[in-house]
């Protein structure tokens, strides 16, 4: 019997699951299944981090990003960001010519009203800007980049400080007051093919949607996860999560 297997994953006689842990994790992978953040990650924000106050879905606050690893939700990195100020974790990377990075995200949203940039969560690659991720040269894919009363996927690039060729997709939810408001997609993936970047969004059944393809020739030095809230309204600051980050060399789609 011949089995087609994604590199780094054990052969299985049952259907392959996108949640299956790789048998040989890449150095850039993280399953967030321990109680502390791996030393390869660096946290950054213009505000502050609050590691002592518990995440609370009914708490509205404007200072201190709250987070929990492998506790609030087992084997997840959970965030309750402060209002209007982003939080980011990043690690240094050296990318091959072709590669694929992907993550499983979750986020909360309000059915009655969505505020601009609320519960936004993304994965991206950044060039080096004096030892930190560049805001001027990067590629990114948001599972949620909320506009007023809209929850949506957004793929884009920034080149020389210009945010260009941004592609927005209502792949699941459309707008407040519709039954499709809850996002059904949970996987985000960025495929690098030389200097071309392809953006994918996936579902638990293994279904992937191709969102866009863009060119960005900068040398990317960092892999980053970004979290952002835009409201403290009832019931409280939205909660965002990352189940894992995984990296594959080559031209593969899990």
Q: If 0-12 CB within 10 Å is exposed, 13-18 middle and 19+ buried, where does residue 42 land?
A: middle
Sorting pLDDT into bands at 50, 70 and 90, what band is 111? Answer: confident
State the CATH number of the domain containing residue 75: 2.60.120.200
Q: How many domains does the chain have?
A: 1
Sorting pLDDT into bands at 50, 70 and 90, what band is 217? Answer: very high
Residue 149 has a pLDDT of: 80
For residue 5, tell me if it sits in a domain: no
For residue 27, tell me if it sits in a domain: no
Cβ pair 80, 232 in contact under 8 A: no
Percent of the chain with pLDDT over 90: 71
Q: How many helices and strands in the chain, by DSSP H and E?
A: 0, 15
For residue 32, tell me if it sits in a domain: no
- Dihedral angle over CA of 159, 146, 66, 48, nearest 10: 40
CA distance 91 to 40: 6
For residue 12, tell me if it sits in a domain: no
For residue 3, tell me if it sits in a domain: no
Q: What is the pLDDT of residues 41-64, one digit of tens each?
A: 999 999 999 999 999 999 999 989
Could you list the beta-strand ranges (E) of the chain.
42-45, 49-50, 65-69, 77-80, 87-92, 98-107, 120-129, 132-144, 153-159, 162-169, 187-193, 196-202, 208-215, 220-228, 240-249
Q: Which tokens in the block code for residue 93?
A: 């990377």
**Enclosing domain of residue 127:** 42-169+184-249
For residue 22, tell me if it sits in a domain: no
Output the average pLDDT for the chain: 89
Q: What is the pLDDT of residues 154-203, one digit of tens each?
A: 999 999 999 876 777 765 555 555 544 556 789 999 999 999 999 999 98
For residue 179, tell me if it sits in a domain: no
Termini Cα distance of the chain? 21
Q: Which among 121, 179, 109, 111 has a CA at the least distance from the CA of 145?
A: 121
pLDDT at 223 over 50: yes
pLDDT at 132 over 60: yes
For residue 162, tell me if it sits in a domain: yes
């Amino acid at each position: 019997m011949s089995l087609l297997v994604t590199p780094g994953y054990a052969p299985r006689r049952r259907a392959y699951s996108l949640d299956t842990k790789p048998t040989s994790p890449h150095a850039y992978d993280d399953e967030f299944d321990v109680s502390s953040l791996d030393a390869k990650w660096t946290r950054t924000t213009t505000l502050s981090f609050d590691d002592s106050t518990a995440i609370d879905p009914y708490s509205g606050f404007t200072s201190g990003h709250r987070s929990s690893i492998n506790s609030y939700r087992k084997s997840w990195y959970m965030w309750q960001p402060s209002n209007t100020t982003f939080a980011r974790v990043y690690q240094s990377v050296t990318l091959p010519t072709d590669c694929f990075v992907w993550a499983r995200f979750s986020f909360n949203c309000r059915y009655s009203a969505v505020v601009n940039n609320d519960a936004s969560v993304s994965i991206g690659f950044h060039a080096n800007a004096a030892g930190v991720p560049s805001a001027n040269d990067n590629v990114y894919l948001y599972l949620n980049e909320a506009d007023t009363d809209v929850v949506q996927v957004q793929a884009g690039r920034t080149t020389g400080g210009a945010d260009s060729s941004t592609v927005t997709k209502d792949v699941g939810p459309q707008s407040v007051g519709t039954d499709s408001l809850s996002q059904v997609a949970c996987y985000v993936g960025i495929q690098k093919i030389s200097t071309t970047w392809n953006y994918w969004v996936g579902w638990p059944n293994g279904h992937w949607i191709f969102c866009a393809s863009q060119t960005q020739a900068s040398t990317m030095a960092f892999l980053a996860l970004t979290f952002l809230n835009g409201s403290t309204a009832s019931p409280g600051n939205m909660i965002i999560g990352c189940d894992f980050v995984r990296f594959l060399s080559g031209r593969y789609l899990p």
